[in-house]
Amino acid sequence: MQDLDEFSATEAALAQMAATPNPRLKEIVDAAVRHLHAFARDVNLTPEEWLAGIGFLTAVGKACTPVRQEFILLSDVLGVSAVVNALHDKKARELGSQSSLLGPFYREGAPELQLGDSIVKNPSVAEIVVYGRITDNNGAPIPNALIQVWQTSEHGLYDLQTLGETGMDLRANFRSDKEGNYWFRTVRPLGYSIPMDGPVGEMVRHQNRHGFRPSHIHFLIGGDGFRELVTALYFGDDEHIDSDTVFGVSGSLVVSAKDDPNSPVKGPKAVHYDFRLARAAPGESGRVGADPTKLAAE
């Protein structure tokens, strides 16, 4: 019989899991156990603190609903989602446009609109145009790419927050044309606070963080034979551009809306961005994130 102390408990746990048949599952759980045990030793975790942590995770689970994924939010504010995104980008067989967080407000089944349409039902400010091309890594056009976009309104709210689970606004699906072009009209989204009314928000407040994300438009772009690109464009003049609560901003994704003689719609200010998709490797795994209604259903 082994005498267990704070070190031999780690060895005992690893030994008992040693016969896990799935090698990848074994690798992941072994590492999680080693890191969790080391973390407990590092901070000299007390029983009260351990219970407080269990209570916090329980509250995170209870805050999840079909339209709210508090665990993804937790991963986001801790920077874990950003790390997983960066690792995913590095695994690509070629470097496409940089990825960013999917976030909790993506929905499948947004309305299919025609190029040039507006994604906003009732704009209260002047519209802008967003346009560019979807190409492969050599700049060759990708026709018929599926471009899913979603964003907050000019008041900083997603449709899920104002219209509930079933209403759709400020989101749409487009297909690129024969030359890989896309363009649509929208309003400039307002930066917004992540949901702060749950346990994750409470944690963020305890850390004296502001909880805001800079103004951005989400994109999920897919083409046959290409790796799906989950990304977002960020407006560089937002006051939180350098302090995104969920670490989604990268320099290559920062844009501005400006007068642009090349815009396909004359008049409104335009954001121009060309996206590059990397070719998919066989059996490559999918996006980092999910429609929260799908997670709840599983």
- Binding-site ranges for Fe ion (CB under 5 A): 103
Binding status of residue 217 toward ligand BEZ by CB under 6 A: no
Of the candidates 157, 265, 159, the one whose C-alpha atom is nearest the C-alpha of residue 215 is 157
| Binding status of residue 278 toward ligand BEZ by CB under 6 A | no
| Residue pair 279/94 in contact by the 8 Å Cβ criterion | yes
CA–CA gap between residue 15 and residue 4 (Å, rounded): 13
In whole angstroms, how far apart are CA 187 and each of 253, 273, 284, 295?
A: 18, 16, 35, 30
Q: Which of 63, 99, 104, 188 binds ligand BEZ (CB under 6 A)?
A: 104
Nearest to 188 by CA among 238, 239, 148, 229: 238
Distance CA 70, CA 82 (A): 16
Q: Which does 104 bind (CB under 5 to 8 A by kind): ligand BEZ, Fe ion, none?
A: ligand BEZ
Check binding of 238 to ligand BEZ (CB under 6 A).
no
Contact 33, 13 (CB under 8 A): yes
- Any idea which residue has 């989950």 for tokens? 230
What is the pattern of x (binds ligand BEZ, CB under 6 A) and - over residues 112-131? --------------------
Is residue 253 close enough to count as binding ligand BEZ by CB under 6 A?
no
Decide if residue 132 touches ligand BEZ (CB under 6 A): no
Site size with ligand BEZ, rule: CB under 6 A: 9
Say whether residue 103 binds ligand BEZ (CB under 6 A).
Answer: yes
**Binder of ligand BEZ out of 63, 74, 120, 194 (CB under 6 A):** 194
Of 98-106, 131-139, 176-184, 267-275, the segment contacting ligand BEZ by CB under 6 A is 98-106
Query: Per-residue contact track with ligand BEZ, 13 to 52, x per CB under 6 A?
Result: ----------------------------------------
Tell me: does residue 105 bind ligand BEZ (CB under 6 A): yes
* Distance between first and last Cα of the chain: 41
Buried b (16+ CB within 10 A) or exposed e, 183-196: bbbbbbbbbbebbb
The footprint of ligand BEZ (CB under 6 A) covers 73, 76, 101, 103-105, 194, 213, 246
